[in-house]
Structure 1
C-alpha cells in the first residue's frame, strides 16, 4: 500500500475510531458530546468491563500491549491489525489505573496518546477513566473583547506548584477583575519542572501538576467563579526528550527541517493532523477548557500550516459553548484572523515599544523600536508597529496592515512569560523601570480596547524573577525555586497599592459605559513630545487617557482645556491642572457638567 493510499485509508478508519460529534437539527454540536466525553482515536479507554487499546504503527510487523501486573511482572497481549497500520486490543478485566506500554515488534515504548503518565514520559501509561462529577456547566464563554487574560505557570504560581494549590488562588483573581486564566503548557514533558514548551505527550497532564481529574477540578472551580480557562498548547514541535511518537511512524515529523526547539510536525500527512486535532478536541471538550493559545504558529510546517489552523477553527465553529483560539506568531500576519479563523494574535510590538520607552534598552530585537510616546501611538493606531517595513533584527520585511482586525484581535501585554523569562536575569519590568512608569504603562494597557494580558504577580509588582529553568540544567532546581511567587508580598503597602490600582482599573474597564463597549473604530491616539493622549468614545460619551512617558514634567498641549475641565475617573499623583508630572497619568470622563452617565 502506498503512503497516499494509506493516508486515505487512515482518514476513513480514523474517523470511525474517533468519538463522533452529536448535533441538533440546526447542525450545532450539542452538550451530549461533553457529557459522554471525547475519546481520541488512539490510546486507551474503558468499555464495558474491559480496557481497549489502539495504536497506529504502520512500520511494525506486530504490535502488543505490555501490561504491568499488580503482583509484579508483565503480561503481553497481542493486538489485532485493523488495516492501514492501525492495531487494537480489547482486554477484559482491565480498566482504570491499569499500567501499560506498547511493544512494536521487539521494542517497548510509552504510549504517546496516553491520557496520563503518572511516572513521567519514560514510564508506563495509565488507563484513565474519569470519575469527576462536573458542577458548573460546560464552560464559560465570552467574546475576546470582554476578556482580561491572566497568564500563569502552574509550577511557580504557588509554592506547592499544583493544580490544587493554584485553584485556591482563583478567587483572588476573580475579585481583582480578570476574566480568564491562561495556563502555560501542562502537557507531559521530561523532568519534574520546566516551562513546558518541550512537551511530548499532548493528551496527558504533567504529573507534577496533578492528575487529569485534578485539572478538571481546577477548570470546574474556575467556571464556578465565572472565569474562563485557556490552555497554552505546543503543536509546532515536540521536545527533545521522551518523544516516542516517531517510533510509531515517521509520518508525524518533518525529516527535512527542525524548529529551534525540537522536531517539527509534518502536517502534510494525516497522522500529524489528526494528532493535533484530537488533542485540541480533548482539551476543549473532555476537559472543558474554553480556549487554546497556540504556541509559535510561525514555526508550523509551512506547506500545511494555514490548513491545520483552518481545520481546527472550522471544527470549533459548531461547538457549544463557543471556544476561542489565539495564536502566538511573530510575523504580524493579519491573515491568521481574517483567513485561518484565529480569534486573536499576540501582538508583541506593543510590549517592545513600552519596554524600550520605560527602560531605554536597545539590545537584541529592541533595536527595532524607538523609545517614546510617538512610537507607542503609532503601534496603537496600526494594532502593531511593523506593517511591512524592514525589520532590522532579521533584515527582512515584516508584517502586514491590520485594518480589518477588531481591537480585541490584538492581545497586548507589558509583561509575559517570554519577555521576562528570556532575559538571563529573569527580571520583571518592575525591577527595570520606576514604579510610577510601570503604573502608567499598566493604566494604558487596561484603558485600550485591545485584549489585555497580565502575567502572574504583575498585579502587585512581584519582586521574584521568572527565570528560564529546566531539569536538564545544573542549576535548574534553584532557578525554578527562585521563580515561585511570594504571595505574602501583597500585604506590604507598596505592593498593596499597585494591586489596588489594577483592581480599580479593571473595575473601570468593566463597568464604564464607554470603556466596556467601544472598539477600534472608536479609538483615537496622538502624541506630542513625551505626552500621549488616547481617546475612546461611544454614544455614552468620551473617555480620555493622558500620560507623560518621561520623568520630566510636561504640559498637556493636546487636551482642549485643562485637566480640571473633565471628570477625573482615576489619576496618579502629579496629574493636575494643565500639567503632568513625571510618569503621571489620568483617565478622564466627559467635560464637567455634561450630565452623561459613566457607570452602569
Structure 2
C-alpha cells in the first residue's frame, strides 16, 4: 500500500507493478510450458512478444520499459492464444482485448482526508450504474449525488462494476475483477465519482463476486487450470481453488485494492454460501480480518449475502463488528413481501401463513429461521441470532435480486396496496436495523428492473432459454406460450425498459412518496441513530403478535435506557390492543412517526387502525413481549 500526498495505490500480487523506469509484468501459471508478454502497438493490437521467466512458485515474470502508461499488453500462451491480464486495470476494448498499463497514482484526490462514516449511520441506496441515469455511467451518478444526499441516503451501493462480457449486464458475470467496466467510464471515472460522493459526505460501497467468474472472457483456465477445482461443482461451474495461495491472494488483494486505491468505504460479498473453500480458514474470515487490520483508522465496512442464516461472521467484540458489519436479511424481505402481496410460491411458501409473527421475530431478533425447519428447503435452517444487535442486519423491501429475479422484473410498488407499502417503508426506515433502498424506491418507481445480459450466439441462446426454464415451476408459467412472454435478457429493449424514469418526480403522487421518505430518514438520523452508537448490545428486542389480526408490537431497548416502540397493523380492520400487552402510558414519550395521519391519536385509546404504523420513543418499556 502506497500513498503520495493525495494519490493512492495498492500493490497487488497479481497484475503489473508499475515503475517509471520499467514495469514488472506477472502471471501465475504453474503448469504452463511457456508464457510470453504481448506488447501492443498504438492501435492496441499485439505487435511484439517478450519471453517471460518462471520462478519456483509458478509465477512468470518480465520487466520492460517498452510498455508505458496507456500502452497495451497481454500474454501469449503455448497454444498461441493471446489473453488479457486477469488483474487488468483497464482494457483496450472488451474482455477479449489487450489490457492497458495504468499508473495507479495518476489520479489526485480532492477528498484524501475522508475517513468514512460510522456503521450505524448507514442508509444504503443500491443502484445499477447502467440503468440509474440516462447516460448509464459513473458521471450520470455524479449528477444525482446532491439529490441522494437531500433524500437522506448516506451510502451508495453499486452493483458489481468489474468488466464482464458485453456492455449490458447486472455485473455478476464479471471476468476482469480489477477492471471497472469501460462502458461505465473506466477506472478514472469511478475514482471521480467516489471522490465527488465523499465531498458530499456520502459513502460508496461496491458489490464484489468471489464465488465464480462469468462465462464470457474468462481465460484463466486456459493457462492456469490450477485456479479451479473441476471436481467441485457450483451453480456456475467449477469451484475456485481457494486452497492455492495465489488464488486466495487474487481475491483478498482485490478487496483491499478497491478499498485503498479507489477509497471505497465498504464491500458487499455476494453469495458467500457459494464460495467452496476447502481450507480450515474460510476465505471470508481471512479477508475480513485483513480488511480490519489494514484500515484501522478508517470506517470501512463489509456486508454479506448468505442464505444459511449463520452468524459467526457477524459476531461482535466489545459491541463492535469483529469481521463483517452486517448480513443481508432475506427473511425480513420475504415476510414483508408475503404480507404485502400474499404470494406463496417458491421460497415464499415458508412465510405465507406465519408472516406477521415472522416479521415481528425478524425485527426483534434477526433471522426468522434460527434452526427451524424449512419446508421449501427440506431441512433445518439457521442458528440463533437473538444475541446480536439489530445493526448486525441489513433489511430491505426490494433489491436487485428480489425485483430482477421475477419474470417481468415487477417492483413491490406495482404489486401491493399503497398504504401497506408505505407502512412497510416506515418500518424499514425507522427500525434500528440498517436499511437499504433500491434505486427509485424512494419515490415509488413502478418501472421494472429486469434481468439483462449482452451475450450472443450459443451462449446468448442458452441464457435466454435457461432464464425462461427457471419459471416452469410457477403456476403462471407452466404453459410454454406464457414463458415465451418473459423478456429476452439479451434484447436491448429489456435493458432500456429497466432504466429509471426520472420524469416521474414531476408528478405529485411520486413527489409525495419522496417527501415521506425524506422525513423518515431525517428522523432516523436525528432521533434513532444516536441511540445505536457506542456498541449497541444484542438481545435488545421484544415483540408481541396479535392472535387474530395482522398486527404486532416490537420494542427495542437502546442506548441511555431509551425504548423504541413499533405498533404495526397491516390488516384492513382496526386492532384493539389487549390490556395485557401494554404495560405503560401511551400518552408519554415522543411520537416519531404515525401513518396514516392521526394513527397515534387512535393508539392512545388502545386501538390501532389498519393499515398503520406508529413509532414511539420512550424512556420505559411499554409492552409485555417476548424475545424468542
TM-score (norm: length of structure 1): 0.89
2:542 is matched with: 524
Return the offset for 1:47.
0.8
Return the offset for 1:211.
1.2
1:350 is matched with: 332
Whether contact under 8 Å (1:45, 1:127) holds in the other structure is no
Return the offset for 1:93.
4.1
1:323 corresponds to 2:300: yes
Change (3 A) 1:351 1:367: same
Counterpart-to-counterpart distance in 1, 2:63 and 2:99: 16
Match of residue 122, structure 1, among 77, 92, 96: 96
User: What is the correspondence of 1:156-167 to structure 2 with a 5 Å cutoff?
Assistant: 156-167=131-142
Counterpart-to-counterpart distance in 2, 1:418 and 1:459: 18
Question: For structure 1, which segment, 423-432 or 509-518, has the greater mean C-alpha deviation from structure 2 after superposition?
Answer: 509-518
Counterpart-to-counterpart distance in 2, 1:112 and 1:471: 21
Counterpart-to-counterpart distance in 2, 1:247 and 1:554: 65
Counterpart-to-counterpart distance in 2, 1:290 and 1:153: 18
1:572 is matched with: 595
Change (3 A) 1:36 1:554: closer
Change (3 A) 1:341 1:589: closer
1:548 corresponds to 2:569: yes
1:47 corresponds to 2:67: no
Q: Which runs of 5+ in 2 are unaligned?
A: 317-321, 456-463, 465-487, 621-628
Q: Report SS of the residue matched to 2:184.
A: coil
User: What is the correspondence of 1:444-459 to structure 2 with a 5 Å cutoff?
Assistant: 444-459=427-442
Counterpart-to-counterpart distance in 2, 1:297 and 1:57: 26
Q: Which runs of 5+ in 1 are unaligned?
A: 1-20, 23-30, 593-600
Counterpart-to-counterpart distance in 2, 1:220 and 1:463: 31
User: What is the correspondence of 1:51-90 to structure 2 with a 5 Å cutoff?
Assistant: 51-70=23-42, 74-90=47-63
Change (3 A) 1:467 1:356: same
Q: Could you say what the CA RMSD is over the residues aligned between the two structures, in angstroms?
A: 2.4
Whether contact under 8 Å (1:136, 1:223) holds in the other structure is yes
Return the offset for 1:66.
1.4
Q: Report SS of the residue matched to 2:235.
A: coil
Write the deviation string for residues 213-270 of structure 1: whole angstroms up to 9, x where unpaired: 1101111111111111111000011111211111231221111122213432111111
Match of residue 379, structure 1, among 340, 357, 362: 362
2:611 is matched with: 583
Return the offset for 1:337.
1.9
Match of residue 240, structure 2, among 259, 262, 265: 265
1:203 corresponds to 2:185: no
Change (3 A) 1:262 1:206: farther
Q: Report SS of the residue matched to 2:409.
A: coil
Match of residue 362, structure 1, among 335, 338, 344: 344
Question: For structure 1, which segment, 555-564 or 372-381, has the greater mean C-alpha deviation from structure 2 after superposition?
Answer: 555-564
Return the offset for 1:525.
2.4
Counterpart-to-counterpart distance in 1, 2:540 and 2:618: 15
Counterpart-to-counterpart distance in 1, 2:508 and 2:531: 30
Change (3 A) 1:180 1:100: same
User: What is the correspondence of 1:5-16 to structure 2 with a 5 Å cutoff?
Assistant: none
Question: For structure 1, which segment, 434-443 or 77-86, has the greater mean C-alpha deviation from structure 2 after superposition?
Answer: 77-86
Change (3 A) 1:394 1:540: closer
2:10 is matched with: 38
Question: For structure 1, which segment, 510-519 or 548-557, has the greater mean C-alpha deviation from structure 2 after superposition?
Answer: 510-519
Q: Report SS of the residue matched to 1:293.
A: strand
Question: For structure 1, which segment, 333-342 or 46-55, has the greater mean C-alpha deviation from structure 2 after superposition?
Answer: 333-342
User: What is the correspondence of 1:265-284 to structure 2 with a 5 Å cutoff?
Assistant: 265-284=240-259
2:459 is matched with: none
1:400 is matched with: 383
Return the offset for 1:167.
1.4
Whether contact under 8 Å (1:194, 1:470) holds in the other structure is yes
